[in-house]
Amino acid sequence: MSTERHVLDANGLRQCLRVAGGGSLGFVISHLMGWNYGVFFTVFPMFLLGLIPVLNALVIRQFIVNVCVNVLEVSLVVGLTQHMPVIMTGLVFALFYARFRLMARGRLFLFGANGVLTLSILLHFASYPDLDLADLLASNIVASVLAVAIAMLMHAVFPDIEARRMPQSPEKAPSRVRHETLIGAVTATLSFVVFQVFDLRDSLSAQMATILILFALSYPGARVSAVKRAVGTLLGCNLALLLQLVLYSQSGHLVLVTLCYWLGLMMFARLHVLEGGGSGVGFGGLTTLGILFGQYLGPQQDLVYSALYRFSSMSVALVATLVVMALLHRLLDGWEPTRYAG
Query: Of how many residues is the chain composed?
Result: 342
pLDDT digits (tens, 9 = 90+) for 47-72: 889 888 788 888 898 889 888 898 89
- Maximum mean pLDDT: which of 107-121, 190-204, 279-293, 318-332: 318-332
Q: Please tell me the predicted confidence (pLDDT) of residue 231.
A: 86
Q: Please tell me the predicted confidence (pLDDT) of residue 3.
A: 41
Q: Please tell me the predicted confidence (pLDDT) of residue 154.
A: 94
What pLDDT band is residue 2 in, cutting at 50, 70 and 90?
Answer: very low
Q: Please tell me the predicted confidence (pLDDT) of residue 202.
A: 64
- Could you tell me if 13 and 159 are in contact, meaning their C-beta atoms sit under 8 angstroms apart? no
Asked if the model's pLDDT at residue 307 lies above 70, the reply is no
- Could you tell me if 56 and 163 are in contact, meaning their C-beta atoms sit under 8 angstroms apart? no
Asked if the model's pLDDT at residue 96 lies above 70, the reply is yes
Angle at 239 between CA 215 and CA 20, to 5 degrees: 60
Residue 163, classed as helix, strand or coil, is coil
Q: Please tell me the predicted confidence (pLDDT) of residue 299.
A: 45
What pLDDT band is residue 142 in, cutting at 50, 70 and 90?
Answer: very high
Q: Please tell me the predicted confidence (pLDDT) of residue 183.
A: 92
Asked if the model's pLDDT at residue 277 lies above 50, the reply is yes
Which amino acid makes up residue 30? S
> From residue 41, how far is each of 36, 103, 146, 251 by CA, in Å?
9, 24, 8, 19
Residue 172, classed as helix, strand or coil, is coil
316 φ/ψ angles, rounded to the nearest 5 degrees: -65, -45
Q: Please tell me the predicted confidence (pLDDT) of residue 91.
A: 92
DSSP class of residue 280 equals S
- Residue at 3 is within a domain: no
Where does residue 219 rank: exposed (0-12), middle (13-18), buried (19+ CB within 10 A)? buried
Report the alpha-carbon distance of residue 78 to residue 35 in Å, rounded: 23
Report the alpha-carbon distance of residue 3 to residue 141 in Å, rounded: 35
Higher pLDDT, residue 253 or 285: 285
Determine the structural domain holding residue 32 and report its residue range.
10-161+169-338
Higher pLDDT, residue 133 or 186: 186
Q: Please tell me the predicted confidence (pLDDT) of residue 211.
A: 84
Higher pLDDT, residue 136 or 306: 136
- Cα–Cα nearest to 169, from 103, 120, 96, 112: 103
Which amino acid makes up residue 67? V
Q: Please tell me the predicted confidence (pLDDT) of residue 95.
A: 93
Helix axes 133-157, 38-46, angle to 10 degrees: 40
Residues 304-340 as b/e (b if ≥16 CB within 10 A, e otherwise) read eebbebbbebbbebbebbbebbeebbeebeeeeebeb
- Could you tell me if 317 and 206 are in contact, meaning their C-beta atoms sit under 8 angstroms apart? yes
Which are the contacts of 73, defined by CB distance < 8 A and separation ≥ 6?
95, 119
Q: Please tell me the predicted confidence (pLDDT) of residue 97.
A: 94
Asked if the model's pLDDT at residue 315 lies above 90, the reply is no
Helix axes 174-197, 109-126, angle to 10 degrees: 20
- Residue at 52 is within a domain: yes
| Average pLDDT, integer, range 127-145 | 84
Residues 140-177 as b/e (b if ≥16 CB within 10 A, e otherwise) read bbbbbebbbebbeebbeebebeeeeeeeeeeebeebbb
- Residue at 5 is within a domain: no
**Total domains in the fold of the chain:** 1
Asked if the model's pLDDT at residue 297 lies above 60, the reply is no
Higher pLDDT, residue 331 or 312: 331
Higher pLDDT, residue 244 or 186: 186
Q: Look at 60-64, 170-174, 175-179, 282-286 and tell me which has the smallest mean pLDDT.
A: 170-174
Higher pLDDT, residue 268 or 132: 268
- Could you tell me if 284 and 269 are in contact, meaning their C-beta atoms sit under 8 angstroms apart? no
| Average pLDDT, integer, range 308-312 | 70
Mean pLDDT of the chain: 83
